[in-house]
Amino acid sequence: MSTAASSAAPPHWHLVGAGHIGTLAAAYVQAAGHGVTVVRPHAVGPIETTLAFADGRRSQRLTLPTVTPTSIEQPISHLLVACKTPYTRAALAPLPLAATVTAVRLQNGIGSLDGLLPSGARLIDAVTTSAVKGTRAHHDVVAENTTWFGDDGAAPDWFDGLRAHWPNLEWSASIRRRQWQKLVANAAINPLTALHDVPNGALIEDAALHARMRDLVAEADRVLGALDESWPGDSLAAVTVVARATAGNTSSMRADVQRGAPTEIEAINGWLLRAAAPLGLALPAHRAVFEALRER
């Protein structure tokens, strides 16, 4: 989808979460001529980092200015949110957000910004199938696949300019459907690989794990089908494709457990449990992984 040509100046973004996906977003945003400043809880000076790309093109050095929440002088008009979901509330609470702030949420899971934005805010959800890993000072861009931005409206005037510099970026009028598709894969693959400390492919190879994955997918389909009768409800094949395509990978939730960090279980399986409750649906498979990971 494309927007009408606009002479509006490119926006200046504040980025919360200059980790793997946030740094990649910052590189694209900078390339499009937008400003970007990282918000950190404590003063750290400019961030110097490197992005290496899987297609062999030259590594990119990136310098990103930083500010602390208390040193921001003007209300934030454009916000990129790319911290892990458990840190979102703490990261946003001290920010001076404009009443009409536009926030782009690059996080997995659903709902992590609920109640954290002003009532006049525009929330644009992003769903990305790109993958980045590495360290704070060096990010390996493993895949630059499709990223969808979307909400209920038309693309903002800055979108086409950004799209020219963000590979495979698309505006989606059905972002909720894309979010749900990713959520089902995350809700099935991430907790099982985290709890059993296995790569994603184990969910295909191990019959017992495969059966648990199947149960998680079926329960997720039941909730989403109850929320939207047009949901196709047959996600197992798609989730199996993801597990097979990423067979050797460590899921982000497994990586979080391995380093003793909080996981994104609240925004993934927790969202499904919260959605199921008013529908009177029990989700025993999701409840089990949710409780097991929350205790870690």
Ligand X SMILES: NC(=O)c1ccc[n+]([C@@H]2O[C@H](COP(=O)([O-])OP(=O)(O)OC[C@H]3O[C@@H](n4cnc5c(N)ncnc54)[C@H](OP(=O)(O)O)[C@@H]3O)[C@@H](O)[C@H]2O)c1
Q: What minimum distance in Å lies between the beta carbon of 261 and ligand X?
A: 8
DSSP classification of residue 158: T
Which of 11, 14, 18, 271 forms a contact with ligand X (CB under 6 A)?
18
Angle at the Cα of 280 from the Cα atoms of 276 and 282, rounded to 5 degrees = 65
How far apart are the C-alpha atoms of 223 and 22, rounded to whole Å? Answer: 31
User: Hey, what are 115's tokens?
Assistant: 């109640």
- Which single residue is written with the structure tokens 């099982």? 192
Q: Is 185 in the site for ligand X (CB under 6 A)?
A: no
User: Of 127, 72, 89, whose CA–CA distance to 105 is shortest?
Assistant: 127
> Which residues touch 133 (CB under 8 Å, ≥6 apart)?
20, 139, 140, 142
User: Mask of contacts with ligand X, 137-166, x by CB under 6 A?
Assistant: ------------------------------
Total residues interacting with ligand X, rule: CB under 6 A: 26
> Which residues touch 71 (CB under 8 Å, ≥6 apart)?
43
Distances (CA, A) of 51 to 103, 190, 286: 24, 25, 36
Q: What minimum distance in Å lies between the beta carbon of 131 and ligand X?
A: 4
CA-based torsion, 113, 118, 124, 130: positive or negative: negative
Q: What minimum distance in Å lies between the beta carbon of 134 and ligand X?
A: 8
Region from 6-14, 25-33, 100-108, 283-291 binding ligand X, contact rule CB under 6 A: 100-108
Q: Is 25 in the site for ligand X (CB under 6 A)?
A: no
Q: Is 41 in the site for ligand X (CB under 6 A)?
A: yes
DSSP classification of residue 137: S
Three-state secondary structure call for residue 281: coil
Q: Is 17 in the site for ligand X (CB under 6 A)?
A: yes
Q: Is 128 in the site for ligand X (CB under 6 A)?
A: yes
Q: Is 136 in the site for ligand X (CB under 6 A)?
A: yes
Of residues 186-245, those binding ligand X (CB under 6 A):
none
Residue nearest to ligand X (CB): 19
Which of 26, 80, 82, 194 forms a contact with ligand X (CB under 6 A)?
82
Of residues 245-284, those binding ligand X (CB under 6 A):
252, 264
Q: Is 78 in the site for ligand X (CB under 6 A)?
A: no
> Which residues touch 229 (CB under 8 Å, ≥6 apart)?
none
User: Hey, what are 91's tokens?
Assistant: 């990261």
Which of 85, 240, 249, 263 forms a contact with ligand X (CB under 6 A)?
85
Q: In the complex, which residues of this chain contact ligand X (CB under 6 A)?
A: 16-22, 39-41, 82-85, 87, 90-91, 106-108, 128, 131-132, 136, 252, 264
